[in-house]
Amino acid sequence: MRIAVIGAGNVGRALGTGWLKRGHEVWFGVRHPADAKYRDLPAERLATPAEAAAKAEAIVLATPWPATEAALRGLNDLSGRIVIDCTNPLGRGPEGLGLVLGHTTSGGELVAQWARGASVFKAFNTTGADNMADLSRYRVTPVMFVAGDDAAKKPVVMDLVRDIGFEAIDAGPLRIARLLEPFAMLWIDQALNRGAGRDFAFAVVRKG
């Protein structure tokens, strides 16, 4: 599949590199493709965000939340395309790092407003980038929930989730991003504030 990963930081690199290994055609959409910090990525896979998105069937948002609206507006018409939103709407308040919105909306739903006409899915937001880069040491397969309204395109996104190595679970419509973003915050709080570190992931275990 032709995939544009917008942002080549922790998440963008982990996912883009994983999909390249699985034979997908990936472009990393970055603001300064010639920057030395991207030298470890294949030069022919680097493009500007708009160039990368123009080539792709699926656009993956791996930008910091405050930059996400501007990053999306810098892409051309995304009608009919898959957009996978990996972001978490994080900001700092009096109690430290937390979500800047929720309950009655979500980052995923705002992304859908900004990417009008695209099929937007929330995924890859509920675990750390290190896990996205390498799941090989887990004895139980970690889970990744996928929320999105386009039932016809959801199987494609679920397959991309499986290609990275997660158990893919359909979480329902995009408004379930209202649950997935606080769920991500639980992972972040465990990792950063409760001593769990980054080498843990959520998984679903079943009776029988």
Ligand X SMILES: NC(=O)c1ccc[n+]([C@@H]2O[C@H](COP(=O)([O-])OP(=O)(O)OC[C@H]3O[C@@H](n4cnc5c(N)ncnc54)[C@H](OP(=O)(O)O)[C@@H]3O)[C@@H](O)[C@H]2O)c1
Q: Which residues bind ligand X (CB under 6 A)?
A: 6-12, 30-31, 49, 62-65, 67, 70-71, 86-88, 90, 125, 128-129
For 192-198, which contacts have Cβ atoms below 8 Å and span 24 or more sequence positions? 192/97, 193/96, 198/128, 198/130, 198/131
C-alpha–C-alpha distance, residues 121 and 86, integer Å: 9
Minimum distance between the CB of residue 96 and ligand X, rounded to whole angstroms? 15
Q: Nearer Cβ to ligand X, position 1 or 90?
A: 90
Specify whether the CB–CB gap between 125 and 89 falls below 8 A: no
Minimum distance between the CB of residue 32 and ligand X, rounded to whole angstroms? 6
Q: Backbone dihedral region of 79: left (phi > 0), alpha (psi from -120 to 50 degrees) or beta?
A: beta
- Looking up tokens 């709080």 gives 189
Nearest to ligand X by Cβ — which residue?
A: 9
Minimum distance between the CB of residue 206 and ligand X, rounded to whole angstroms? 25
Q: Which helix (H) or strand (E) holds 146?
A: strand 143-148
Minimum distance between the CB of residue 29 and ligand X, rounded to whole angstroms? 7
Q: Nearer Cβ to ligand X, position 70 or 151?
A: 70
Q: Nearer Cβ to ligand X, position 156 or 191?
A: 191
Q: Nearer Cβ to ligand X, position 62 or 83?
A: 62
